[in-house]
Chain A
Amino acid sequence: MPTIGRDDVARLADLARIQLTDDEISRFAGEFDAIMDAVASVSEVATSDVPATSHPIPMTNVFREDVVTDTLTQEAALAAAPDAEDGRFGVPQILGEE
């Protein structure tokens, strides 16, 4: 498996929307190869004849009755918002300047 360098960590952090400091990027870059090497053993036994399991106890089509139930009030839903206005969440500008 490829080496995970500083550029890779920076790209992953960008994808995951996490601002990292330079120190953090260096530290994680120094750790990730060893961690991924340790977990890569899974591919030794994961042959094509083994089906994948996504869930410990398989269930399908779990539905409840289609009836109206109580939901949060608008006030309760907005109570913990960093910013709210006119009964809505206040969010930063979505698009860049250009």
Chain B
Amino acid sequence: MSTTDPIRLSAIDQARALREGELCSEELTRAHLDRIAAVDGDLNAFLHVSEAEALATAREVDTARAAGEELHELAGVPVAVKDVVVTQGMPTTAASKILEGWIPPYDATLVQSLRAARLPILGKTNMDEFAMGSSTENSAFGPTRNQWDRERIPGGSGGGSAVAVGAYEAPLAIGTDTGGSIRQPASVTGTVGVKPTYGSVSRYGLIAMASSLDQAGPVTRTVQDAAALHELIGGHDPRDSTSLEGGFGSFTEAARAQDVKGMRIGVIEELEGEGFDPLVRARFEESLAALEGAGAEIVRVSCPNFQYALGAYYLIMPSEASSNLAKFDGMRFGLRVVPEESPTAEAVMKATRGAGFGDEVKRRILLGTYALSAGYYDAYYGSAQKVRTLVQSDFAAAFESVDVLASPTAPTVAFRLGEKTSDPLAMYLNDVATIPANLAGTPGISLPSGLAEDGLPAGIQFLAPVRADDRLYRVGGALEALLEDSWGGPLLAQAPELSGGIAR
């Protein structure tokens, strides 16, 4: 495949090509649909492809552009949406049997923003059921495969969105991040993912897992693309009472600045040693050295309470999930299973939830129910909420002396499909570096740091104070340029061509 193939361009370059009349949105959208048809039977990044709707939007954009209408910068550039985000008239399942075939009667606010800017929506991406997992193996509709090695996991829960952009099936995708579900898939697929400040992007229309942790954000191949998509979907929404009113700098300007002179970067001591694979750490150190060479100052900081973050997260998240998922009761929408012997409402609820939920969803609802039950509430949920305060204090103390914090995004490269499915605790450890940001509401970015163990991608994560998302784009944009200079191009260019792809 030639490098001028439009699907290989960044979203911003695709937008430029559309503006300059080098191609039209219908061609661009069709090229992505063709790519999906060629490779997704194998990768399974999409649960639903909305070909007719995407092409209709594309043709509207082309007509509007020909008529000289003012259009959004990204108008006509296709996007894929994680299946946990509701889309009017388009199936939304959260990768669960309990919602199979459900057509939502409304759009999430961020989907309204995508539609208003006229981005053709290619379809809905695969994920762990209800976003519970770190490998997309908990999808009720089969796992997504990593485009670097199809025997490996794509990360989770948003493995579908990460692979969709990483395998050139979509230039842009939407993810959600409750404990790392945007950043960890980005890390193991060689792509870029941003968890915005909590409240930066509306949660209205996200199928909630843990309401105080969930945040939607951009999944892309470049830092500038992430900044542009974040600006499009961000902003205050009166329908989300936790939505923030402005106060953010320009993300796209920061991503273009490529200037880290004088920036103070704190390496989190608790997240760089034991448990992180040697080559993952080596790529991390090289990334820091590149930033130092560009004028940044690297210091070590300690966040002593981060070691308790994983425990707090795996109490708070199941507790909130057990409450949020109570709405799936077989009464108003979704699956209903009626047991013959006892067709009462209670029996119907139990049968429906027993048949409709997968293992991990049941596990977390039961753990949450336990943590919230009388006699254990103070010891578990109450203590976890206190740890949340301590994690926030660690962040506040660290940001008194540094502008951003850094760590490897995930401890390892992509592991093999099936390797950790029988050990829930081992699976939970994948989130050790990403969880603190969710507990504190702070923003985080993951971008590729290079190839590590087994020639697979690793990621570096930066964290910034609440509302300082622009700093992530500044440091991310700068590091991406430095590393791509040293690699002679994007990391994804080193990924194997997919057999069954258009190239072969």
Q: Which residues of A contact B (CB under 8 A)?
A: 1, 4, 8-9, 12-21, 24, 28, 31-32, 34-36, 38-47, 50-57, 59, 62, 64, 72, 76-77, 79-83, 89, 91-96
Contacts and interface: CB of A to CB of B under 8 A. Distances in A.
Given A19-B354, A81-B332, 4 more contacts: A13-B362, A39-B384, A46-B382, A55-B242
Given A16-B369, A38-B314, A59-B242, A51 B386 contact: yes
Contact of B362 (A20, A38, A83): A20
Contacts of B103: 79-80
Contacts of A38: 310-311, 314, 425, 428
B350 to A, nearest CB: 4
Contact of B379 (A1, A50, A95): A1
A41 B350 contact: no
A38 B309 CA distance: 11
Given A36-B370, A91-B331, A56 B198 contact: yes
Contact of A39 (B311, B322, B357, B359): B311
A82 B330 contact: yes
B323 to A, nearest CB: 10
B174 interface: no
A59 to B, nearest CB: 7
B329 A79 contact: no
Contacts of B326: 17
* Residue of A8, A17, A36, A40 with highest tally of chain B CB at under 10 A: A17
Interface in B235-293: 238, 241-242, 244
B381 to A, nearest CB: 9
Contacts of A91: 331, 345
B350 A19 contact: yes
A53 B392 contact: yes
The secondary-structure label for the interface of chain A is: loop
7 contacts: A12-B369, A12-B370, A12-B373, A15-B373, A53-B388, A55-B242, A77-B105
B199 A57 contact: yes
Nearest to A76: B105
Given A15-B369, A82-B336, A83-B336, A56 B379 contact: no
Contacts of B338: 92
Q: Most A CB atoms within 10 A — which of B351, B359, B369?
A: B369
Contacts of A44: 308
A12 B359 CA distance: 15
Nearest to B315: A39
Nearest to B376: A1
B353 to A, nearest CB: 5
B441 A56 contact: yes
Contact of A41 (B213, B308, B344): B308
Interface in B338-364: 338, 343-351, 353-355, 357, 359, 362-363
Contacts of B312: 39, 42
Contacts, number: 183
Given A44-B308, A52-B388, A92-B348, A32 B367 contact: yes
A93 B331 CA distance: 11
A90 B346 CA distance: 14
B387 interface: yes
A53 B389 contact: yes
A94 to B, nearest CB: 5
A-B residue pairs, 3 tightest by C-beta: A56-B441, A19-B354, A46-B383
A57 B331 contact: no
Interface string B209-246: 00011000000000000000000000000100110100
B385 A80 contact: no
B106 interface: yes
B397 to A, nearest CB: 15
A51 B344 CA distance: 44
B380 A39 contact: yes
A57 B466 CA distance: 9
B65 to A, nearest CB: 30
Interface string B311-333: 11011000000100010011111
Contacts of B213: 56
B386 A35 contact: no
A94 B332 contact: no
Nearest to B320: A54
Contacts of A39: 310-312, 314-315, 380, 384
Contacts of A12: 366, 369-370, 373
Given A35-B367, A57-B199, A80-B103, A17 B383 contact: no
Nearest to A8: B370
